[in-house]
Amino acid sequence: MEVTYLLLALAMLFALIATYLAIVEKHLVKAVVFSAIQSIAFTLALYLLRAPDIVLVYLPITVGIYPAAILFLIKKTEEVEQP
Amino acid sequence: MDLESLVTLMILCTIPIFVTAYILYFIRILKGPTIPDRVLAVDALAFDLVVFLIVLGIYFKSPILPATAVVLALWTYAFDIFIAKYLERREMGE
Amino acid sequence: MIDYVMVVVGGVLLFVGAICDLLGALGMNRFPNFFVRLHAATVGTIGGAFYPLIGASLIAFGSEFLGFYKWFVGGCSLVSAFLILMLAPAGSHALARAAHKSKASEVTPKVVDHLEEDGGVS
């Protein structure tokens, strides 16, 4: 049981750092990569909480469809956020 | 020593090595200077997380859990292809 | 008896894969530029994900305490092992081609680059 709680704390720490960097980052493609890291860390967290059905739904949306839509929008507009 | 405690002991010995490797990959993601460095580190971290999910499924003795590992491998490859095609198209000037 | 043999062989493969994973992560932090880090990524994916998945499938096939569902766990492990064996080199190759074409990463200790002299990849 201690293994579960230690790994859960580690995964949520990864997700917190990745979320902060994705908000602060000015280059938008790097922000998409940080968002993917957050979703992969949440995959480990939801797996440790014994919810594999939520993982099966959460993973294609946040790793597959969301970066594809955001990259399509970035290609139509600018790449670096203007102040 | 019976079979169940042997399997549990072997998996408990390999968990700290995997966790150390994840922390080192995360350090490369944080300080990688260019975009392909970060995407390569994300790729390696996700493909190693597939191993970790199946090993934890054996350790918790709950056999329904490891079906998520196949989905993680397939969508990580799709993320790689998205970023690579974006970097190529930006150079073409479309 | 055959159960003990399968579990011990699977445990040895799992341990070798974990060591390969640690070496790949160390190389990812120590190497100087992107095209050298591809080597560390290959050690981390093929050596660190394919071998331990084969080992985990052997452990799952040999362990009787999982019940009937041990075939389910072992089959999942084999399928994801062969998917990683096909998909990881394809992904890293596409990424290397894009990085060389878009000049995203500079090769700092460079001696010669025949691909750039020929006009780059088409």
Residue B92 pLDDT:
63
Q: Is C100 on the interface with B (CB under 8 A)?
A: no
End-to-end Cα, chain A, rounded Å:
48
Over 60: is that where the pLDDT of B93 sits? no
Q: Tokens for C103, please give them.
A: 């000049």
Check B51 against C91: CB less than 8 A apart: no
Task: Measure B84 CA to nearest chain C CA, in Å.
Answer: 5
Mean pLDDT by 10 residues, chain A (83 residues): 89 94 91 93 92 91 92 87 80
Residue A12 pLDDT:
94
Rounded distance, CA C58 to CA C65, Å?
A: 14
The predicted model gives B33-48 an average pLDDT of 91
Residue A76 pLDDT:
87
The predicted model gives B30-48 an average pLDDT of 90
Residue B51 pLDDT:
92
| Chain A contact residues (CB < 8 Å to B) | 3, 7, 10, 14, 17, 21, 29-30, 33, 36-37, 40, 43-44, 47-48, 50, 52, 55-56, 59-60, 63-64, 67-68, 71, 74-75, 79
Lowest mean pLDDT among A17-21, B49-53, B60-64, C89-93: B60-64
Nearest to A75 among B76, B78, B86 (CB): B86
Sequence spans of domains, chain B: 3-92
Check B18 against C21: CB less than 8 A apart: yes
- Amino acid, res. B47: F
> Do residues B71 and C83 lie in contact, with contact meaning Cβ atoms separated by under 8 Å?
no
The predicted model gives B52-68 an average pLDDT of 89
Rounded distance, CA B20 to CA B14, Å?
A: 10
Over 60: is that where the pLDDT of B68 sits? yes
Q: What is the pLDDT along chain C (122 residues), one digit of tens a residue?
A: 888 899 999 999 999 999 999 999 999 999 888 888 999 999 999 998 999 999 999 999 988 888 888 899 999 999 999 999 999 999 999 999 888 888 777 777 778 888 877 776 66
Residue B4 pLDDT:
86
Residue A81 pLDDT:
81
Residue C50 pLDDT:
92
Residue A43 pLDDT:
92
Over 70: is that where the pLDDT of B94 sits? no
For A60, nearest residue in chain B (alpha carbons) = B75
Residue B6's CB is within 10 A of a number of other CB atoms, namely: 16
Residues sharing a CB contact under 8 Å with residue B49, sequence separation 6 or more, in sequence order? A40, A43, A44, B22, B72
